[in-house]
Structure formats: C-alpha cells, structure tokens
C-alpha cells in the first residue's frame, strides 16, 4: 500500500475531509488522474464526477460538481463547488443537475458554450450511471 499523504476536501459550506490518505482519483477536466504521495505539483479544474479516496484499504466515493485540484509537496487540496458523499447523494438532486445541464445545452449561444455544457451533462449522466449500477 502506498505511503499516506495529506488530503483536504473543501466545499463552500465546510471542510469535508482533512486526513492522511493513500491515493485519490480525481475527475479532472482533461481526464481522471490519480494522486499518490510525492506526486508532481499540478493544478487542474475538476469536472462533475466522483472522487475515489483510498485510505487503509477502504475506498470512499464523493460526488463533486466541479472545482479545482491543487497537488503540491504538502499533499492534495480539492476546492469543490459542491461535494456530497455518494451514500448521501439523492437521486432527485442528481436528476435536477441533469435537467439544469440539459437546459444549459439547449440555451447555449455558440458551439464552444454548447460543447462545454454538453461535457458537464455527460459527466452528470456518468455519475448517475455509476450510482445506479
């Protein structure tokens, strides 16, 4: 098992987690990436998706609606727009995110905005599929 490192998960409402973990899989905008101890410094935006946090052989899954990831020598900090443990995620709340994203795709003024909103919509649908499976 990899050595632990410091992981902090912060949402606008509160500090959700501040612990030593062994690995975190982050849903980056350009694709998922896994952080271990001594990971190279990186900053990334986060798409809607599921953080997979492993510590002591146990995995926690937390839905994030977006935000930023900062990997530095002291560990990983996630600043999430919204973060909810998968066990607490309500199907109707996720359905509302999907509906809002569908409306945003339909209302997009140009192809770039439409593509950005379609990516968010796809991410929400992937999360929904993970929860329903």
Inform me whether the pLDDT recorded for 1 exceeds 80.
no
Among 47, 27, 25, CA closest to 101: 47
**Residue-level pLDDT at 133:** 59
Residues 100, 120 contacting (CB under 8 angstroms): no
Stretch 35-50: mean pLDDT: 94
Q: What pLDDT is attached to residue 13?
A: 86
What is the distance between the alpha carbons of residues 102 and 106, in angstroms, rounded to a whole number?
6
Hey, which residues does 27 pair with through a beta bridge? 32
**129: alpha, beta or left? (left if phi > 0; alpha if psi -120 to 50):** alpha
């Amino acid at each position: 098992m990899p050595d632990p490192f410091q992981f902090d998960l912060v949402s606008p409402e509160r500090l959700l987690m501040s612990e030593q973990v062994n690995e975190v899989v982050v849903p980056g905008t350009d694709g998922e990436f896994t952080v271990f101890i001594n990971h190279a410094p990186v900053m990334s935006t986060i798409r809607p998706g599921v953080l997979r946090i492993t510590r002591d052989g146990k995995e926690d899954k937390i839905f994030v609606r977006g935000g930023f990831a900062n990997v530095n020598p002291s560990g990983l900090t996630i600043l999430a727009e919204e973060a909810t443990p998968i066990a607490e995620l309500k199907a109707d709340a996720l359905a509302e995110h999907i509906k809002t994203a569908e409306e945003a795709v339909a209302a997009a003024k140009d192809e770039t905005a439409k593509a950005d909103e379609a990516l968010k919509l796809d991410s929400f649908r992937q999360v929904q599929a993970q929860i329903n499976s």
